[in-house]
Amino acid sequence: MSQEKTTREGSLEAPTRHALDWQSPDFYNEESLNKELERVFDICHGCRRCVNLCQSFPTLFDLVDESDTMEVDGVDKADYKKVVDQCYLCDLCYMTKCPYVPPHEWNVDFPHLMLRAKAAHFKNHGASFRDKVLTSTDAVGKMSTIPVINTVVNTMNENAGFRKILQSQLGVHEDAVVPKYYSPTMRQRLKNTKASGQTDAKVALFSTCYGNYNSPHLGEDLVKVFQHNNIDVELVPSECCCGMPKLELGDLETVKQHKEYNIPIMARLADQGYKITALVPSCVLMFKQELPLMFPDDPEVKKVQEAFVDPFEYLFMQYRAGVLKLDFKESLGDISYHVACHLRVQNIGLKARDILSLIPDTNIHPQERCSGHDGTYAVKVESHEKAVKIGRPVARKVDQLKSPHFASDCPMAANHIAHISESVSEARHPISLLRQAYGL
């Protein structure tokens, strides 16, 4: 390793995340980027703590070990992209493993370096048609939920012959879970849900693309649970995709466009005293962490960041305040509970577990390992098998536990694990389990 041997190991201070310098020309400069990749890869090569987190690190270490010098300087820079392509920005290496994150002088932020490399590649080389389609969740969702088209899309997605064509022509793996599209959508189902105005507890629900088009019942479950607890809930008046899929693609200009649509609407809600929530942890993380790091000087982004809460974080606040109802009608027994990576890195603890634990005779068994789904990673033909390998330990644990319920806050991760598992017939969201326990 080229770093000074006298540099102290690790840091006792809390990590500080630097803003993403994505508007500077140097951010996209390939020479400057490769220099930083080489510097950080060299630190990782000497450390290797993250070897079992994802495929980025084994890919890097194999490239180093198989090079002529067996050091990072022996790796062809053209191969750096192989490491970048395996990162799905889960943030776990930064948040749970790395002792060299800032304020440590080595200043390692592996996920944001991968994001920079993705952004530089997108700016300089664009993206494939497949990747543009897969990350256009709003446009695909809108089209697939038009009533006549809806039935055709869902029928075709279940047709093995069509899935083979989809794999060969578009690069969507034939065995990957492709979500079902629902008409009416969540926003259509909840359009008449209005605040009573009789309580200070008021929450606006950001439906998310996946929630709106693929899991509309989750919004109905949340409304039932919140209203039962005298929490006013209504939809964010209008929304588009949070931008996370485009962030993972490195298309930061489109992330900015989404931000410019969503943030003023939600900042107005924050001004009116609303908390804002969403049922997909990645979308919550986008507003709580990624947009504030991309737009650190935007007061409206900051306002939305402060108003955004995970739904179970909010319910736990109500519990702490002594106002959460505990009038459960049904015990749930054992629940295998997958803890999504984008929930873990929010550093709020396991609030869904804490709330579900209040239900009598209900035992939660958390699994804190990556599902492998990770946005589009499990769907792409080149990474689907790796995604299955990453998710298999969670699925095996779930199979061993044989709990009557399996749940994850991330509906996509839940469906991916259920698909790999031999015992799960239905993947649930904790909010649906809570509704069931209340008998609503």
Binding site for ligand SF4 (CB under 6 A): 43-44, 47-50, 53-54, 56-57, 87-93, 97-98, 100, 108, 110-111, 114
- In the bound complex, what is the minimum distance in angstroms from residue 96's beta carbon to ligand SF4? 9
d(CA 280, CA 209): 9
- In the bound complex, what is the minimum distance in angstroms from residue 372's beta carbon to ligand SF4? 10
For residues 87 and 293, which CB has a smaller minimum distance to ligand SF4 in the complex?
Answer: 87
For residues 11 and 183, which CB has a smaller minimum distance to ligand SF4 in the complex?
Answer: 11
For residues 40 and 176, which CB has a smaller minimum distance to ligand SF4 in the complex?
Answer: 40
> Of 302, 298, 300, 232, which is closest to residue 264 (Cα–Cα)?
300
The first and second tokens of residue 334, run together, are: 């054992």
- In the bound complex, what is the minimum distance in angstroms from residue 237's beta carbon to ligand SF4? 33
For residues 342 and 405, which CB has a smaller minimum distance to ligand SF4 in the complex?
Answer: 342
Contact of 408 with 371, CB cutoff 8 Å = yes
For residues 107 and 363, which CB has a smaller minimum distance to ligand SF4 in the complex?
Answer: 107
For residues 57 and 182, which CB has a smaller minimum distance to ligand SF4 in the complex?
Answer: 57
> Of 78, 2, 91, 68, which is closest to residue 33 (Cα–Cα)?
78
**φ and ψ of 367, to 5 deg:** -120, 105
Maximum CA pair distance of the chain? Answer: 71
- In the bound complex, what is the minimum distance in angstroms from residue 415's beta carbon to ligand SF4? 20
- In the bound complex, what is the minimum distance in angstroms from residue 92's beta carbon to ligand SF4? 4
Residue 235 bridge partners (DSSP): 205
For residues 93 and 355, which CB has a smaller minimum distance to ligand SF4 in the complex?
Answer: 93
For residues 113 and 263, which CB has a smaller minimum distance to ligand SF4 in the complex?
Answer: 113
Can the peptide bond before residue 103 be classed as cis, meaning omega within 30 degrees of 0? yes
The first and second tokens of residue 101, run together, are: 């994150």
- In the bound complex, what is the minimum distance in angstroms from residue 2's beta carbon to ligand SF4? 13
Cβ atoms < 10 Å from Cβ of 89: 24
Beta-carbon contacts of residue 72 (< 8 Å; ≥ 6 apart):
38, 41, 42, 45, 64
Beta-carbon contacts of residue 356 (< 8 Å; ≥ 6 apart):
332, 335, 337, 362, 364, 430, 433, 434, 437
Contact of 379 with 178, CB cutoff 8 Å = yes
Place of tokens 């392509």: 85
Burial 272-301 (b: 16+ CB within 10 A, else e): eebbbbbbbbbbbbbbbbbbbbbbeebebb
- In the bound complex, what is the minimum distance in angstroms from residue 61's beta carbon to ligand SF4? 9
d(CA 362, CA 407): 13
The first and second tokens of residue 33, run together, are: 């980027």
For residues 110 and 206, which CB has a smaller minimum distance to ligand SF4 in the complex?
Answer: 110
- In the bound complex, what is the minimum distance in angstroms from residue 370's beta carbon to ligand SF4? 8
- In the bound complex, what is the minimum distance in angstroms from residue 22's beta carbon to ligand SF4? 17
d(CA 274, CA 234): 10
- In the bound complex, what is the minimum distance in angstroms from residue 79's beta carbon to ligand SF4? 16
Q: In what order do the strands lie in the sheet with 405-408?
A: 362-367, 333-338, 405-408, 427-428
SS3 1: coil
For residues 201 and 370, which CB has a smaller minimum distance to ligand SF4 in the complex?
Answer: 370
Amino acid at the residue 182: Y
- In the bound complex, what is the minimum distance in angstroms from residue 89's beta carbon to ligand SF4? 5
For residues 48 and 164, which CB has a smaller minimum distance to ligand SF4 in the complex?
Answer: 48
